[in-house]
Amino acid sequence: MPIRQTLDLPDIQLSYLEWNQGQTPLLLLHGLADHSLVWSSLGDYLAPKYHIIAPDLRGHGESSKPDQGYTFDDHIADLEALMDHLGWSSA
């Protein structure tokens, strides 16, 4: 069962689900107009082997919905900040 977490970034709050049972990092990204819960079944299945993070990208799910800041660079910066927060160098 995942735990809902929140990371406070300078311009948004990034919400994510975390399954922290396994050791190998795995980052699951949802598609356009979706959210992290799309990964619930797969996350539960893979949790024994992987430390799984499924973020709600900015503007989706429980993450902040700013008026601007939806470029690829913005999304990549959010994911880099999340990985730094987790201490991950790769996923």
Whether the pTM exceeds 0.85: the reply is yes
Q: Is 74 exposed, middle or buried (0-12, 13-18, 19+ CB in 10 A)?
A: middle
**CATH number of the CATH domain containing 42:** 3.40.50.1820
| Domains identified in the chain, total number | 1
> Is 7 contained in some domain?
yes
pLDDT tens figures, 5-33:
999 999 999 999 999 999 999 999 999 99
Q: In 35-54, which positions are buried (b, 16+ CB within 10 angstroms) versus exposed (e)? A: bbbebeeebeebbeebbbbb
Average pLDDT, the chain: 97
The parent domain of residue 36 ranges over 3-86
